[in-house]
Structure 1
Amino acid sequence: FFFLTEVNYCHVLQESLLSSASGYSNYRGILNWCVVMLVLCNARLFLENLIKYGILVDPIQVVSLFLKDPYNWPASCLIIVSNVFIMAALYTERRLSVGTISETTGTFLYLVNLTTLLFFPSATVLTLTSITPVGGAFALCVYTVLFMKLYSYKDVNMWCREIRHTKARTLTRSHSCPSIAQSNGSAVHAHVSYPGNLTHRDIYYFVFAPTLCYELNFPRSPRIRKSFLLRRLFEMLFFIQLQIGLVQQWMVPTIQNSMKPFQDMDFSRMIERMLKLAVPNHLIWLIFFYWFFHSSMNFVAELMRFGDREFYQDWWNSETVTYFWSNWNIPVHKWCLRHFYKPLMGRGVNKWVAQTAIFLVSAFFHEYLVSVPLKMFRLWAFMGMMSQIPLAWFVGRFLRGNYGNAAVWISLIIGQPIAVLMYVHDFYVLHYVSQS
């Protein structure tokens, strides 16, 4: 009897120890509880919104965001005019390739072309009253992407001329002339060497390709997969409608109700509005990320048989702010690394100075794409972008692992609603309150 009792006691004690250990190592049930609570809380908010405002979704109303007059399309005309800058870059490179003009003259022509490429559309958007803020922002996005592409086009062709002049066949990885035929594991396309790449077909392929870094021979896929293309097309159509619906139904009423607390400087109500806006704003941002970087860019890449599909990496696992900015937008990161960061480092610039310069350029373009269409410049927005530098230093220095990842998510979830509310408030005050 005592022997059996002792055995049973040891068995119970062993089970107790195992149970205690497993309770601290397996959090699946708690995570599932968090997911269920998150879904229920957001479902309540969405139901409350429907009861309070009714159905606000109106796809036809979206057209008015791009057009004021159905017979006047200034943003579209502005985008068509961008072909002038593309042709200017192509014919400048052709003259440089045959030695008709010197490198100094070519650099001056590129300086004029790229400077005009930035300031011409912004001046047009600021001058024309018929262009809407959304239409202007879309046109400026196109011009900004074109600016980065033509800058890369200039650099790569210049590197190729340096190879030809020095009679070298290869360059280092930091200054490489990408003229080696590549494939995506299937079909190898015709090899192109400088200056055989200076054609209309080549430059327009690069303009529409989902990349910002120019290559003489891009990796190509063997064929267009129709099923893959249709899936991406369906996702594009579905998620763009979902974004429009969420903005109209969820964000617009919250933003409209936030104007009075901002005017009265009621800080408690301002914080409440900001937190209420954080949920739909972040949800829409995540949907936009998937719609643009996965669905849309893969659709374009598949249609153009473009082989490089690395448009993003695991930014959601970011433990530092720097890792997030390096992995959530791979095309921009590669461009900054290739045409900005490495050239600065090659000239002996300090690493932190080079990173600060990249944040400075990024802040400029973010403010450029928002302030010009809204026809207002806000120093706080520019400084808010630059605040990523001390935030990156703090997170990288003092926070690690899950704490760093939580800090990155908090900066994304809270930072964007603050910027949205302040931009809308300033726009409302400048264009409506001051006129009334």
Structure 2
Amino acid sequence: AALQCPKDSGRAVLGVGNLCAVALALALAPFPVLSNARLFLENLIKYGILVDPIQVVSLFLKDPYSWPSLCLVILSNVFVLAALHIEKHLAAGSLSEHSGSVLHSLNLLTVLCFPALVVLTVSSATPVGALFALLTYTIVFLKLFSFRDVNRWCRERRAKDESARLGELGTSPAPAKHNAASGQKTANGDVAEKSVSYPANLNYKDLYYFLLAPTLCYELNFPRSPRIRKRFLLRRLVEMLFFTQLIVGLIQQWMVPTIQNSMKPFRDMDYSRIIERLLKLAVPNHFIWLIFFYWLFHSSMNAVAEVLRFGDREFYRDWWNSESVTYFWQNWNIPVHKWCLRHFYVPMIRSGCRRWMARTAVFLLSAFFHEYLVSVPLRMFRLWAFMGMMAQLPLAWFVGKFLQGNYGNAAVWISLIIGQPIAVLMSVGSMPDPCFIQRWLSIPGGLLGVPGSLCYAGVSCGAKKQHRILTSG
């Protein structure tokens, strides 16, 4: 991972310097965001301490006796086992390629549709719990898609080798081993230590190792580290715990009041106040996004990889040095980038599609999953996430054509700092139910000028503290 490599340290932090310049420009702009420290202190003075770790539980569970999201996650094993047994029948020859392809397609389609239908119909599913379940199913979908493709490639290679052997007279070569990593680099970037041949890979242990591994690209043989480094693992676990609490605290203390105070300007269409709230939200949103990136791609993925002795640790590259939008999307999330390249972009190019068409298709796929993970948990279909992703195409063209070097890098940072809060405010502002955000964030009714009886029958004992969110505006 880029943060673990000391070489070329000057180049490695160039993008961070540009981030500081952009953040300083925002801090000195003639708006309420004068400085990050001032903003945080102002928040504490206005609202007091709003951090409540216990409140987080209510984001996952509405009814302590109903756990729909957890049940959904457990049920995902049904689709995993279905994919494994389809592959076993295909390897044994008891199922035709066409029938297997149809069954795989139906299984993958159900992986996406089934949890969405459950979330939309079961009222006890909370947005955060539903997001966790849908994210799990999305990962399962991508992994099973890769699992299907790689095993199909192995069967095609086996059929080709058998045809070659039949065409040779007077020779009896040993059966070829059909694996994805015999003496060469795998799609995950390293050389496997030992070889597993097809179809010996079709077993529960192999498949569930892949499902737990921090990669989306299936291999018959994954690179493995020699041992578990206990100190390294302990550091990653401590980071995970610390940054989880920090993210939750920043959201409760910094993000929620700003979002709450943005409701009235949206209802009144007060554009100057909307812009002011947008800039006020940009700084905490970006801090949380950066912390979340480190928590996910550096701490969490490295912890999982260490436990599984998974050898490929390239989860991200130096995206902070991006001088183009394209470079950013190719380097900030390496597991997804490798999957898109291997199972979507390259097959389209080989089928005769032009590169711009394949790139557009990749962004369309990404936009679909962004919308899927936002609209379904919120039960609100406004296509803001979809349009935000598709807007990356003209932005990438503009930055690539007119901005170079540091200017391009600054443009990427600005798009990240400003673009995300725009999507957040547009999504929240277009919610048809004015009480929804209150129920979601466990905030008592009546704080936004909405009668409390519309949201809850009563007001909790924390209402006086939360009332400062409105009165401090």
Give yes or no for contact 2:322–2:409 (8 Å, CA) kept in 1.
yes
**1:222: Cα distance to partner?**
0.2
Structure 1 runs of 4+ with >3 Å offset: 37-40, 181-184, 186-190, 428-436
What does 1:81-100 align with in structure 2 at a 5 Å threshold? 81-100=75-94
Tell me the equivalent position of 1:133.
127
For residues 336-373 of structure 1, the C-alpha deviation after alignment (integer angstroms, 9 at most, x for no partner) is 00000000000110100100000001000000000000
Give yes or no for contact 1:121–1:143 (8 Å, CA) kept in 2.
yes
**1:382: Cα distance to partner?**
1.9
Q: Distance in 1 between matches of 2:192 and 2:72?
A: 37
Residue 159 (structure 2) aligned to one of 149, 165, 189? 165
Tell me the equivalent position of 2:222.
218
Residue 180 (structure 1) aligned to one of 174, 179, 182? 182
Tell me the equivalent position of 1:403.
407
Residue 325 (structure 1) aligned to one of 329, 336, 352? 329
Q: Distance in 2 between matches of 1:97 and 1:209?
A: 24
Tell me the equivalent position of 1:11.
none
Are 2:395 and 1:391 aligned? yes
**Which structure's relative contact order is higher, taking Cα pairs within 8 Å and 6+ residues apart?**
2
Change (3 A) 1:161 1:63: same
Structure 2 spans left out of the alignment, 5+ residues: 1-16, 164-177, 437-449, 456-473
Residue 360 (structure 1) aligned to one of 349, 360, 364? 364
Give yes or no for contact 1:224–1:303 (8 Å, CA) kept in 2.
yes
Tell me the equivalent position of 1:413.
417
Give yes or no for contact 2:179–2:198 (8 Å, CA) kept in 1.
no
Tell me the equivalent position of 1:42.
36
Give yes or no for contact 2:375–2:383 (8 Å, CA) kept in 1.
no
Which is richer in helix? Answer: 1
**1:177: Cα distance to partner?**
4.9
SS at 2:220 equivalent = coil
Give yes or no for contact 1:255–1:421 (8 Å, CA) kept in 2.
yes
SS at 1:59 equivalent = coil
What does 1:37-76 align with in structure 2 at a 5 Å threshold? 41-76=35-70
Are 2:344 and 1:344 aligned? no
SS at 1:55 equivalent = coil
Q: Distance in 2 between matches of 1:398 and 1:340?
A: 29
Give yes or no for contact 2:323–2:408 (8 Å, CA) kept in 1.
yes
Tell me the equivalent position of 2:115.
121
For residues 133-187 of structure 1, the C-alpha deviation after alignment (integer angstroms, 9 at most, x for no partner) is 0000110000001000000000000000011000089xxxxxx951426899x99
**1:381: Cα distance to partner?**
3.4
Structure 1 spans left out of the alignment, 5+ residues: 1-26, 170-175
Q: Distance in 2 between matches of 1:250 and 1:108?
A: 49
What does 1:229-268 align with in structure 2 at a 5 Å threshold? 229-268=233-272
Q: Distance in 1 between matches of 2:248 and 2:155?
A: 48
Change (3 A) 1:385 1:187: closer
Q: Distance in 2 between matches of 1:380 and 1:279?
A: 21
Larger Rg: 1
Alignment TM-score, normalising by the size of structure 1? 0.87
Tell me the equivalent position of 2:380.
376
SS at 2:430 equivalent = helix
Alignment TM-score, normalising by the size of structure 2? 0.81
**Aligned AA for 1:67?**
L
Tell me the equivalent position of 1:142.
136
Tell me the equivalent position of 1:106.
100
Q: CA RMSD in A?
A: 2.7
**1:40: Cα distance to partner?**
8.7
Residue 80 (structure 1) aligned to one of 67, 71, 74? 74
For these two proteins, the number of residue pairs brought into alignment is 402
**1:302: Cα distance to partner?**
0.3
Q: Distance in 2 between matches of 1:118 and 1:150?
A: 12
